[in-house]
Amino acid sequence: MSEKILTKRFEIPGYRGALEEYEATGGYQAIAKALKEHTPASLTEIVRRSGLRGRGGAGFPTGVKWGFIPKDPELPKYLVCNADESEPGTFKDRELVMRDPHQLIEGVLLASFAIGCRAAYIYIRGEFIAGARILEQAIRDAAARGLVGKDILGSSFSLDLHVHRGAGAYICGEETALLESLEGKRGLPRLKPPFPATSGLYRKPTVVNNVETLSNLSHIVLRGAEWFSSIGSPKSTGTRIFSVSGHVRRPANYELPIDVSMRELIFEHAGGMRDGRRLKAVIPGGSSVPVLTEQHLDTRMDFESLATVGSMAGSGAVIVMDETTCMVRVGEIVSRFYHHESCGQCTQCREGTAWLHKTLRRIEEGRGRKADLDLLLDICDNMKGKTICPLSDAAAMPIESYLKYFRDEFEQHIVDRACPFGPMDGS
């Protein structure tokens, strides 16, 4: 069994993530060490050398991202933690927030020190009611001990840390939409450039990092860049928390080296397929990414390996489907979601997501037309790479992949004028 990093404390009997428990297990030693031994530049360099890449979806190297922030100490800057976890299938950040909030807060402190900001925000999705309360309490506890606020641990580093609740909008997980929402507006993505590093929150330089990304930082500071980069593959380092759901025996979060194989993840850790059924399809990185099949089981789960087989590591959410699953129905559900969540700014996305959903529903209900399959591909083609943010691509890519691997199934729906599968009722 490989070593766990982020979820190691979860295994301590009775561990609830309180400040005393966190401190008794090495908590807040990394920020103490950083304040004593590091400059912002040397801390950024360690994180860059560790190879840590963003765990939210895009996989951008964290240290490099920090490096884009202007060094001018007079210029206001912000760190924003993205805790808007909404990518269907993903449930790791909720667990990290609820079970070890101080690990995240320490990560926020370290990142804020590295970029030289004095105010940080944790943007948490509105539905995380319990999570927001836990974080707010944890911040109060930390502030009472001089770990958050003015002159942290007697140093000249100060940080105000606020929790901001969202109110239910998937698009706010996109970093520029998140910033708009944090400013109190509708979550409409901004055109990039300018990137948040130059013009972010309140048009000031801003870094947006995911919960899991930030939670890694204290471990990297205490144990070193070389230790971290020895886990995983050369380009994808460290562990990753894979959220496995769907038709497996043990759906749950599994923290494993980032280059674990899909087969090992599903069959050893998640217990294999329920009821001994056959695996049909796997979505390896949240519902936005292209689907894979049995032939890809030996693919590793790191960013590069999944890209090589035409999919993406995304948010680390692995949705597993067995032979009883209707892929047209899956397409209908996935497209319904993107249709609901499109912010409506760009025509290609606003109209395209609606058309995809409408067409897939028609096929699933036995009203599909022969021309519908080419129509779907045509819609997808018009949606990709043509919009302000990637939601449009995220809606189109999965549908294209379902057609690539399961075109027969779509055709059968149209020819039979009915869905050949039973209802998706969990049996």
Tokens 């708009």 -> residue: 180
Give me the 211-250 binding string for other proteins, x by CB under 8 A, dash otherwise.
--------------------------------xxxxx---
* Residue 259 to residue 133: CA distance in whole angstroms: 34
The correct pick among 27, 166, 316, 352 for binding other proteins (CB under 8 A) is 166
Say if strands 317-322 and 239-246 run parallel, antiparallel, or are unpaired.
parallel
73-92 residues near other proteins, rule: CB under 8 A: 85-91
Q: Which is nearer to other proteins, 121 or 128 (CB)?
A: 128
Structure tokens at 228: 């971290």
Residue with smaller CB distance to other proteins, 168 or 194: 168
Residue from 31, 46, 63, 93 in contact with other proteins (CB under 8 A): 93
CB of 173 or CB of 352, closer to other proteins: 173
Q: What is the DSSP letter of 78?
A: E
Of 40, 51, 56, 187, which lies in the binding site for other proteins, with binding defined by CB under 8 A? 187
Task: State how far the Cα of 172 lies from the Cα of 182, in Å rounded to an integer.
Answer: 9
User: Could you tell me the two tokens for 245?
Assistant: 């759901």
Least Cβ distance, residue 88 to other proteins (angstroms): 4
Q: Amino acid identity, residue 309?
A: V
Burial of 1: CB neighbours in 10 Å, binned 0-12, 13-18, 19+? exposed
Tell how strand 317-322 and strand 279-283 pair up: antiparallel
157 touches other proteins by CB under 8 A: no
DSSP run (H or E) holding 101: helix 101-115
For residue 333, state whether it binds other proteins (rule: CB under 8 A): yes
Minimum Å gap between C-beta 252 and other proteins is 5
Q: Is 13 in the site for other proteins (CB under 8 A)?
A: no
User: CB under 8 A: which stretch of 52-60, 160-168, 369-377, 404-412 binds other proteins?
Assistant: 160-168
User: SS3 string of 14-26?
Assistant: CCCCCHHHHHHCC
Specify whether the CB–CB gap between 24 and 278 falls below 8 A. Answer: no
String of DSSP letters for 104-155: HHHHHHHHHHHHT-SEEEEEE-TT-HHHHHHHHHHHHHHHHTTSSBSSGGGS
Q: Which is nearer to other proteins, 287 or 353 (CB)?
A: 287
Q: Which of residues 122-141 bind other proteins (CB under 8 A)?
A: 125-130, 133
Q: Can you tell me which of 13, 73, 154, 184 binds other proteins, judged by CB under 8 A?
A: 184
Q: Please, which residue, 90 or 353, has the CB nearer to other proteins?
A: 90
Q: CA-CA distances (angstroms) from residue 165 to 237, 270, 379?
A: 31, 32, 35
**Residue of the chain from 168, 194, 234, 420 that contacts other proteins (CB under 8 A):** 168
Alpha-carbon gap, residue 383 to 367, rounded angstroms = 24
Binding residues for other proteins restricted to 297-326, rule: CB under 8 A: 317, 319, 321, 325
Q: Which is nearer to other proteins, 131 or 238 (CB)?
A: 131
Residue pair 220/87 in contact by the 8 Å Cβ criterion: no
Closest CA to 289 of 201, 398, 209, 204: 398
Contact stretch for other proteins (CB under 8 A) within 57-65, 336-344, 402-410, 414-422: 336-344
A 10 A CB-CB count for 204 gives 16
Among 9, 53, 55, 94, binds other proteins (CB under 8 A): 94
CB of 375 to other proteins, least distance (A): 23
Q: Minimum distance between the CB of residue 92 and other proteins, rounded to whole angstroms? A: 8
Q: Would you call 366 helix, strand, or coil by DSSP?
A: coil
* Closest CB 58 distance from other proteins, rounded Å: 19
With CB under 8 A as the rule, give the number of residues binding other proteins: 53
Token code pair at residue 370: 């022969």
Over the window 269 to 288, marking each residue x when it contacts other proteins by CB under 8 A and - when it does not, the resulting string is: --------------x---x-
Q: How far is the CB of 62 from other proteins (least distance, A)?
A: 22
With CB under 8 A as the contact rule, the residue among 16, 186, 223, 417 that binds other proteins is 186
Rounded CA separation 318/297 (Å):
12
- Residue 14, Cβ density class (10 Å: 0-12 exposed, 13-18 middle, ≥19 buried): exposed
Q: By the criterion CB under 8 A, which residues form the site for other proteins?
A: 85-91, 93-94, 125-130, 133, 165-170, 184-187, 243-247, 251-253, 283, 287, 317, 319, 321, 325, 329-330, 333-334, 337, 340-341, 343, 423-427
